[in-house]
Every structure is written in C-alpha cells, then in structure tokens.
Structure 1
C-alpha cells in the first residue's frame, strides 16, 4: 500500500512521470464525466424499506395500479372544453399511458367553475422511462390552444429536478471560478500561484464526476451527487493547495532553495492537508448511516472528491511545484507587501488580555443566542409539494395551480390498505373496512374518507362478490380485490390541513396505530406517509450520526494533540458553529421564502462542517503548542498562534465562502440552503470561533489547555523543528 509520505517522495523525485499519469487520468475522466448527468436519479427522499413503500408494492400488485402517476393540468379563463380534455388524453395515451382518469369518472378532478381540469395518467415501466417522455409530452400539450397545459406529477417533477440540478452546478462553477481567480490573485499576488490551485480543483471535479458515473453502473445515485462534488470539491481542493503553496512560497522568501522549501512545505502543511482530508471523509461516512439515497449520494460525492483532491495535493501538486521551482512567483502583481508577524511578539498586557477574554466570551454567548431557533427546528421533507423547484418551473406551476383551484383531495390522498386472509368471513371483513372508513371520516383532521363500503353498493352484493373468486365487478376492483386469495380493500382518506402538514403526519401515525383483529393488517401509504417514513428514518439515525462524528472527531484530535481537553473544546466549538449557522439559515429562509428548512440540510451541514473545520483547529492549536514548546509563555503562545495563522485561516475561509456563496444562485431550494448554511458556518468558524472565542476560552482555562507532551508535533507552521529538517529527512512523518 502506497503511504502518503512515499507518494509525496515519488512526486518530488519523479515529477514528470507523475504529472503525465495524472494528465492521462484527467483527460480520460473528462470523456467519462460527460455521461454522468443522464445516469443520475432524481428523488432519493423516500425510504425503500419503509411501511409505506411496502404498502405501495402491495397496491401495485393487488389493484394493478401503475407505478408512475403523472398529472396534466388544463387551466384557463373559461370552462375547459371536452375537446381539450380529449386531446390531452390522446397525447398521454400516445406516449404510453395505460390509464387516464379525469372529471368524467372523478368529478373532484375539476374546479367548481370548470376552468381547471386535472387528468391523472398511469404509466408502466421505470420512473426514468417516464421522465424521458416529459419533454415530448409537454411540447405536445403546449399545442393545445385556448388553455394553459402543464405536465406535473412525480416523473415530471423529477425530470425538472434533474435539469435544474445540472444547471445549478454549471452556473455555480461559472460564478465561482472567476471569483476564485481574483481571490487567489489577491492572496498570492502571483498569477502562477493562483492558477495552480484552480487547475487541481478542475482536475478533482473531472475525476470525481467520472467515478460517479462508474458508481451509477452498480447503484442509484442522486442528482445531489453533482452539486456536492462541485461544492465540496472546489472548496477543499483549492484550500489544500493554498496551505501547501503558501508555505512553499514562504520558505522560498526566507531564502531556502526549491528542494528544501518543498520538503518543509510537505512536512508541515502537507500533514495538515492529510489530516483535514481524512477528517472530512470520516465525517461524511456518517451520512451512510440512514441508508437513504439522498444521503448516501451526498456522502459518496463528498468522500470521492475529498479523496481525489487529497491525492492530487500529495502527488500532482508537489510534482508541479518541482517543475515550476521559483517560477511559482511568475506573474507577480504589484501588490502591497504583507507585513509578517514580528518574531518578538509579546503577550498582551493584562488589560488587553482581559478585554480579549471578555470579547470572546460575549461572542460565544451571542452565538448561543443565535443558535436558539435551532431547538425549534422540525425535520420534515416536503415530498407532497414542488417547493424544491424554482417558482417559474412548469411542473411546479401546474401542481400549485391544481392545488390552488381544485385542492389536494385527489392529488395526494392517504391510502389505507386493509387486508385479511381468505379464511375470514366476507361480512366480517367488510364490517372492518366500514369501521375504519367511518372512524377516519369522523376525525376532525380529515376532510373526506371513502371506501367500497361507502360507495352505495348493497352490503349483500359486496359479500357475494368477495366470496366468489373473480366475481368482483370491474367498477369496484380499484377499491376491493383478492390478492393471492387474501381480501384486500382500499380506504382513501384526505387530510384536512394538506398532505405536508404536521397534522397529516399525525393522522398517518394514528391510522397505523388503529386497533384491528389479530389476523388483519393495516398499511398506510401515499405521499404523506412516504414523507413521514423518510423523516422517521432520518430522525432515528440522528443520534448515531452525531455519536459517530463526535467519537471520530474526538479520537482524531486526541491522536493529534495527546490531550482530551482540546478535542472536547473542538466538539463544543463545532457544535456552536453548526447551531448558530442553522439558526441564521432558519431565520433567512423564513423571512425570504417563508418555508421550513429541508430536513436534509441540518444533517448535511453538521457532517460537512465538522470535517471542514478540523484543519482550522489543528493549524492554530499546533502553532500555539509549537510556540509554547519553544519557550514562550502561555499568553505569548496563544497570541502568536492566533495572529500568525490568521492570514492563512482567513484566506482559506474567503475561498470556501466564495465557493459556497456561488451556490446561493441555485434554483433548487435544498442546494441553495446548503450553500447558505455552509457559507455562514465557515464565516462564523473562521472569524468568530477561531479568532475570538477559542483564544478567550484557552486563556480562561490557562496553561493546562496546551499539552506539553514531547510527542506533540506541529501539523502546520512549525518553524523550529520540521522546517529545519535536513534534505534527506522524510517529507512526512513515518506514520503519515
């Protein structure tokens, strides 16, 4: 197995072959990466192992419901004509619809004034097959004159989600790259030094997209894979390059030759990059715990691009730096020279130290207050709506038009499936179905409930039909059937407050808990039940996700610092950052969109930020330990550690914020939320926690906060040991 130290050594000693291998890999990856988008899957916000998913399978098998339901919404200023309905029906059937239901059989699919009509079409095959027909159906519907026609429903919504996801990633990259060029030019003051991290970032994205396509050959991958690869990939690839290139140029500026400068950079900053990359990947592993496609795709994308960026930083980057040598300063801009930290910096005077502690503690208290709204967050994924799409998208417009003019009654009903063995008396089974129907209809949170027992058919006729196999009339088979000899009935329930409301979720839980005879089973499905099951699976995984990340973060920092106190402080700081950023995000989304935060966002923000903030903690604390071991007082070590790393930390934070801010232009709401949340979190982490709160807390604790164990070495910024290592010393520690 090739260790990181050996990988760096190989790149330093044989730079041309290493770069040649990477160039071939990136070129081949680019050819494969262009095939990724069509292979990705929309959705991922449902639990395939949930009770609602099992009930959905039972419905398809017992009642013959088609697996994919699309909706056509016809609306205008006047009554929709039968001819328009017939034209839309013909278009649907020509494109593969097996069933088409409209107002002629279900009057509630038309508005009271007849100006809006909904057609529900059932399609066989996979969701991807129906998605592929969306552009053709929508184009044909646009030709219907006199009405506005919209294709919506799950396949059309998924198609739109795919299209907007691709547009969002492309737009964000086009916004981010020019901003990053300017930012890196300001940070480095050199064109060559600025372009090198961008080249590595582009290579990391290409390889990660290609690996994502290969993964789709074996499993379903969500469209969120593309967004997370762009978001995390640009941030970590450029930041890792920044740490190493900045340290390399500093060593050149001190008069070191190129080889010595490279070895110093990779024995210090290189170790920080290695630690940070592992931390990000480990934190993202926690997102596999829920076993939900949206999270597994995000975890896979984040881990893949982080590992690829890490490999590039420890192989292609040193190889490129060897070949460039002092030419890394090519294209130097006439910028004002930065003032370095004076070697003889002192600890602040007592009054200044007290002010610093008070300021830091006040900042921490303010973050606690800002994090307050997080306690009131409810995790809920809006599966029965299209709010994740931009307001002008046709699929969203069509769905919201139908909801506004007709209502949710027949669009997202709750379906209760009652089943019993064939040995059950037909009369007893029908009485149980009738009881459940009446019980649901009597609830204050239900606007309507119906089943075969409330359809006006005499009970004696229903008993005879059920007792004789094959005797159930076709008109009743959508509500009553026999499946493998068992009796199966469907009860359709409409929630009074809408399918995505908290009351509707409670209604699903109540229906599932309804007592029934021992041999009977009751299954509840529909969009509301699917959303509830997704949220339940996520909430059940939260303690495991938090525990996993906390435990691994503590263990990694314990190894780095040989002190239990610093890892505990890191957990507290990171929790404070995540809580405050979620509080700000919740406030912003409520003010701007008046919609709740998607249940995916807090979990993703938690996992990603715990990984990304690790390098800041390690860099600053390592430098403080370093100065303390070199003989400085505790106060001097804290002051120098915080001030000497401030420029690097702030530069890295600016780059990350620039990347995350570019995703605030996303049309998909969840991507926009993640971009805002991560941007706010990185800003708070770099400017408030690391520069104000952490020094204040360390001074409050005193010298025991910094361990003096002789095995503790700097991860970055060591100017007293690794920086002066002889040429033949390993470029990274032997256990790296």
Structure 2
C-alpha cells in the first residue's frame, strides 16, 4: 500500500508540474448571464470589438509642466521603451498626450477635434505637471504586469517619477500580497501544528505522521486540479492552491491525529499492534469517513454560486479533503503497521508509553468536562451569550472587494498611483470606467435621452464630469463611458452603478425602445456583490439541510443533528463577528476600543493587520462552507466517541466526560 501511495504522489506531482501553471488564472467570470456580462458582450460585438485592458504609466515632475520640451522628450523615451516590449505585452497603439493633441490639430472635423482636445486634456493632471501614457495590454496576468514594471523603475532620473496604474497592476499587487500572506500563514500554521502535535503525543514520529499525511494529500489535489483543467479546458482561481493547502493541512492533521490517538489507546488496553490498528479502523476511521463527508457536503454548497472563483476554490478544497480521507484510511494504517510501537519514538514524556492507563482520571480535561456537566445550564448560558454577542457584530459588516486600492498598504505602488489618479486627474477610476451600452433605432428622442444621460452622469457625485460617447459603425449602437471620480472598486462607485440602473436610466430612456445595459468592471463587481447576497441564503439552506440529513443517518436521531447544526451556526457566526470586530471600524465606542486593541496586539506579535473600509464580499460565504464543514467535522468526532462509550456503559455523564 505504501508503494502504491508513493507512485500516486509521484504521478500527481508530475501532473502538477505539467499542467498546474496553465490551469490557474486571476480572471473571475460568471457562469450565468447578469446585466454587466450582457453589456460587455454587446459592446464588444457591436461597437469596440474585443476590448483590450489598458494600463497607464503616470509620469510626474515636481517643477516642469507637461508642455515643456524636456518633459515631452522624456515621455517619448518612455513611450519607445513600452513599444519595444512587443506584441507579447502591448496589444495596440501606445498613446500619449502629445499624440492626441497632434491628432486634434490635424483633423478637419470640428466635432472630432473637440473630442480629441477633451481627451488630451484628460491625460494631463490638474496642476499640469503629470501626464498619462495609455498602454493596451494583451491580458491582465501577473506575468504581463511584471514585464511592464521595469519601465517604472526609472524613478528619480532627471527629477521625473514614473508609476504604473491600472486594473491589472492592482490585481497583481493584491494577488502577490495575498499569496505572500497565505504562504506565511501556512508556515506559521505548520510550525504551531507541529508544536501542538508534539505536546499531544509526546513523541516525534507520532507528531510528524499527521503532517506527512497532510503533505501527501496536498500535492494530490494540485495534480487533480491540473489534470481536470487539461482534460476539460477549465481554469481555476489562483487562490485555489492556497485554499487547498490550508484545508489539506487542517483535515489531514485532524484525521490522522484522531486515528493515531485511537491506535495508541487500543495499545494501552492490551491489544497487539495489528489488533489495535483494526480496532482504530473500526471506530476512528469510520468517524473520519463520515466527518470527511460533512466537510465535502459543506464545500459542495459553493458550487451553487454562479462564479468561477467560488466553484474553482470549492473543487480544489474537495479534492484535498477526498485525498486526506483516502490517505488517512489507507496509507496511515499501512504506515502504522510498519512502525508499530516505533510510532512513539523518540519518547519525550511518560504519556507516550504503551503501558499507561488508556482512560486516565483526574486530568485537566476530565476535571473541566465534569465541572461543565455539573452545571450545564450555567455554562450553556455563558457560552451562548459570548458566541451570540460576537455573532451579532457580523450584521455591521461592510462588504466590498480587495480589488479596491484602499485595502492595500500605503507603500504599494498601485495604491500610490490610484491616489494620484484620484487627486491630480480627478478620476481614480479612469482605468476602469463604467460602460453603458445603448442599442436602438437612432431617433431624436434617443439622442435627447443620451444627452440627458450625460448630464445626469456629470451631476452624479460618483462620476467625473466627462462622459465619453463611442458610436458603432452606422450609429446603431452607442457606448457611454462614465469615469468614477474615486476608487473604481469602492462602495461609492458601486452605489453609482446602482443609481444608474435603478434611478437614472429607466426614466430617461422610457419610451425610446432602446436597450440600455450597464457594464464595465465596476458593474461586474456590483453584480458579483449582488449575486453573493442573493445566493448566500440558498447556499446556507443547502449545506444545513445536507449536513442535517447526513448526521441523522449516521446517528439515527433528529435531536442530535439539530443540536449540531445550531451549535455550529453559532460558532461560525461568532467567527464572522470576530473578523468584523478586528478588521472593521466600529461605531460603538467600547467595541471600537477592542478593535484598535486587537489590531495593535496582532501587529505587536508580527501579524501585519490593518483596518479596512470593507471586507471581501465572498469571504463570509467561503468561510461558512469551510468553517461549518470543519466544525461539523469535529462534532462528528466527539459524538461518535460519546455514543461509543454510552453504548458500552449506558452512563451519559461518564460517556461525555
């Protein structure tokens, strides 16, 4: 069996090396068809063709104005460096202020001249000492952004400063910071887990074995992700591997710990090693199997969400849980059979002896459990009050997206660039405008409605005064671009999108027979937030129902699964509340003091926590599926063992203790 597992791990390792890199992407897409997706499809089909993502180089000088020949010469040099990157990075013309201004002077069409002059002005800062270079790029992958970054490293030359701004850069910085944080958390988690396992088992091999099982399941899940992508042509979110690693460590360690602990207990009862392995398999392994199913069922809820990021993370997590179950039920017993009592080597404490009492009395947990059982109502009220109070804080959550520059540390270049766009160009969302598709017969009434829409956009506090219009060939369709004045992925812009859809567009275009749809990246994220809110209760109902049915089958009871569902909902709610309390400013003075203390405390011990304006919208749903699955997992462990003892003794108090 060990040889078989070695071959499986090696094979999946090769599959991971061959296919995993191509399987991962930073793109997020809908699997259904919300308004923003419809708008983008029509815009590309009828007006713009396939739209290229655009990044901006911001070039600033403390003294020189943009009109100065020295400034123009420097911009032209940077422009040539960008063009030299070739079609592997650049997808079209690299446009500067000087190019647009020259084109405005050459065109004989007065309206076109006015449009180009307005475009040229938009590429210069309000103080006249900074300009933008627009760079259409082939994609928004991190590799593409990394090829652009060296150009912005020319800061300080001749008093000039260069910053790179845009959705791709923001996404790359957000992803890199998140991945680095996740890697650090995984390393910290492994270290803490190893220390805890050594304390629990008081033996090095017994402590390392659960980690080994987890580290077997993780590469298997990576290989599965790569193979599924290669076979079916689907892509997985870049964060899928991080989720798989974190959950793989959690469940791999838990399942192995439970089985190894039961094996050692059976040895203390006097069973020889083979018999102890069989006894552990008949009890602990059965509990592990059903516990793993509860985690898988909880993760299945994320597949209901019609977005690729949820489905890909759910798939990666399910792969690693299945791998952990399989390794715990087959590889671990095989290793225990080979090691036998050497699993307790080197022994660090008397607790690792096979000759010890299998059911010691008077220990810390024995005393604690008996104290709780002696006053169950008191402890129930206290625990529900604490968990319920924490859970109530969740209802103050402000949901948003980490695509917002406001969530990044101040020293990150893309945040600095956004602040300059917002302050000096009066449009932080220039790189990601809201795009409004208008399709219908060209009539005076429609033209009047479009003009009224431009006025309404200019009057809306979420958008800049300019609302650019692009007509399709033949004029059958129009594209109106509204530029957010602040963060394109901030709540103010999302509110602006909602106002456009609900308050501004319907009355303006009533009776025009025009099809009007709001798209663009801000609208896509607005729809993402809306779908998260819409599907969250559906996912909760699905997961709760499925978990209830599974526990009812396992324990042949209605009260036990009902109690488990309620308890785990309470614990998940408390976890939600703790996240909101730590990371989000509180309106209550007492809670806000706790919030600032928590931030300072975690920063003091090495965690770089910071207050955020909004918490990632998909986080509650992701956490629910993971936390509910894991908490039900532990519930099954405990209840399985309690029922086993109760069946032997008939004493409920003693079985629980």
TM-score, normalising length: structure 2 = 0.82
Within the candidate set 116, 128, 150, 2:163 is matched to 150
1:139 aligned residue = 150
2:315 aligned residue = 300
1:116–1:402 CA contact under 8 A, matched in 2: no
- 1:152-171 matched pairs, under 5 angstroms: 152-161=165-174, 163-164=176-177, 166-171=179-184
The worse-fitting range, judged by mean Cα deviation, of 96-105 and 516-525 is 96-105
What is the rounded CA distance, in whole Å, between the counterparts of 2:169 and 2:492 in structure 1?
27
Describe the SS at the equivalent of 1:100.
coil
Question: By how many angstroms is 1:238 displaced?
Answer: 0.9
What is the rounded CA distance, in whole Å, between the counterparts of 2:23 and 2:169 in structure 1?
17
Describe the SS at the equivalent of 2:517.
strand
Q: For residues 105-150 of structure 1, give each alpha carbon's deviation from its aligned partner in whole angstroms, at most 9, with x where no partner exists.
A: 4323332223433322223x4444xx43322321133236233323
What is the rounded CA distance, in whole Å, between the counterparts of 1:187 and 1:350 in structure 2?
21
Q: CA RMSD in A?
A: 3.0
Could you list the runs of 5+ residues in structure 2 that have no partner in the other structure? 99-118, 585-594, 596-609
Within the candidate set 93, 100, 121, 2:135 is matched to 121
Question: By how many angstroms is 1:447 displaced?
Answer: 4.5
Within the candidate set 23, 28, 34, 2:6 is matched to 23
Question: Structure 1 403/443 Cα, relative in aligned 2: closer, same or farther at 3 Å?
Answer: closer
2:429–2:488 CA contact under 8 A, matched in 1: no
Q: For residues 6-38 of structure 1, give each alpha carbon's deviation from its aligned partner in whole angstroms, at most 9, with x where no partner exists.
A: xxxxxxxxxxxx111111121232233345245
1:374 aligned residue = 394
1:45–1:293 CA contact under 8 A, matched in 2: yes
Question: By how many angstroms is 1:441 displaced?
Answer: 3.2
Question: Structure 1 106/289 Cα, relative in aligned 2: closer, same or farther at 3 Å?
Answer: farther
1:480 aligned residue = 471
Within the candidate set 575, 579, 584, 1:581 is matched to 575
Is residue 204 of structure 1 aligned with residue 217 of structure 2? yes
Q: For residues 594-620 of structure 1, give each alpha carbon's deviation from its aligned partner in whole angstroms, at most 9, with x where no partner exists.
A: 322111111011111111112322232
Is residue 222 of structure 1 aligned with residue 237 of structure 2? yes
Question: By how many angstroms is 1:354 displaced?
Answer: 6.0
2:269–2:358 CA contact under 8 A, matched in 1: no
2:55–2:431 CA contact under 8 A, matched in 1: no
- 1:279-290 matched pairs, under 5 angstroms: 279-290=294-305
Count of residues in Structure 1 that have an aligned counterpart in Structure 2: 587
- 1:643-722 matched pairs, under 5 angstroms: 643=657
Describe the SS at the equivalent of 1:99.
coil
2:618 aligned residue = 600
Question: By how many angstroms is 1:624 displaced?
Answer: 3.4
Is residue 177 of structure 1 aligned with residue 197 of structure 2? no
2:463–2:482 CA contact under 8 A, matched in 1: yes
2:13–2:223 CA contact under 8 A, matched in 1: yes
What is the rounded CA distance, in whole Å, between the counterparts of 2:193 and 2:369 in structure 1?
39
Question: Structure 1 30/430 Cα, relative in aligned 2: closer, same or farther at 3 Å?
Answer: same
1:47–1:533 CA contact under 8 A, matched in 2: no
1:37–1:223 CA contact under 8 A, matched in 2: no
Q: For residues 437-485 of structure 1, give each alpha carbon's deviation from its aligned partner in whole angstroms, at most 9, with x where no partner exists.
A: 2333344555425345xxxxxxxxxxxxxxxxxxxxxxxxxx2233xx5
Describe the SS at the equivalent of 1:149.
strand
Is residue 399 of structure 1 aligned with residue 390 of structure 2? no
Question: By how many angstroms is 1:548 displaced?
Answer: 0.6
2:451 aligned residue = 434
Is residue 414 of structure 1 aligned with residue 434 of structure 2? yes
1:706 aligned residue = none
Q: For residues 366-404 of structure 1, give each alpha carbon's deviation from its aligned partner in whole angstroms, at most 9, with x where no partner exists.
A: 211111121222433354x23565554433443344334
2:248–2:320 CA contact under 8 A, matched in 1: yes
Q: For residues 648-683 of structure 1, give each alpha carbon's deviation from its aligned partner in whole angstroms, at most 9, with x where no partner exists.
A: xxxxxxxxxxxxxxxxxxxxxxxxxxxxxxxxxxxx
Describe the SS at the equivalent of 1:595.
coil
1:47–1:537 CA contact under 8 A, matched in 2: no
- 1:544-583 matched pairs, under 5 angstroms: 544-583=538-577
Question: Structure 1 87/216 Cα, relative in aligned 2: closer, same or farther at 3 Å?
Answer: farther
What is the rounded CA distance, in whole Å, between the counterparts of 2:4 and 2:466 in structure 1?
66
Is residue 491 of structure 1 aligned with residue 480 of structure 2? yes
2:372–2:379 CA contact under 8 A, matched in 1: no
Question: Structure 1 288/324 Cα, relative in aligned 2: closer, same or farther at 3 Å?
Answer: same
Within the candidate set 477, 497, 518, 1:508 is matched to 497
Describe the SS at the equivalent of 2:488.
coil
What is the rounded CA distance, in whole Å, between the counterparts of 1:528 and 1:198 in structure 2?
43
Is residue 321 of structure 1 aligned with residue 336 of structure 2? yes
Describe the SS at the equivalent of 1:408.
coil
2:422–2:486 CA contact under 8 A, matched in 1: no
TM-score, normalising length: structure 1 = 0.74
Question: By how many angstroms is 1:434 displaced?
Answer: 1.3
1:118–1:402 CA contact under 8 A, matched in 2: no
1:92 aligned residue = 82
Is residue 386 of structure 1 aligned with residue 405 of structure 2? yes
Question: By how many angstroms is 1:44 displaced?
Answer: 2.0
Could you list the runs of 5+ residues in structure 1 that have no partner in the other structure? 1-17, 453-478, 644-736
What is the rounded CA distance, in whole Å, between the counterparts of 2:369 and 2:280 in structure 1?
34
1:47–1:53 CA contact under 8 A, matched in 2: no
Question: Structure 1 328/295 Cα, relative in aligned 2: closer, same or farther at 3 Å?
Answer: same
What is the rounded CA distance, in whole Å, between the counterparts of 1:512 and 1:520 in structure 2?
14
2:462–2:484 CA contact under 8 A, matched in 1: yes
Describe the SS at the equivalent of 2:58.
strand
Question: By how many angstroms is 1:494 displaced?
Answer: 4.0
Question: By how many angstroms is 1:533 displaced?
Answer: 0.8
2:251 aligned residue = 236
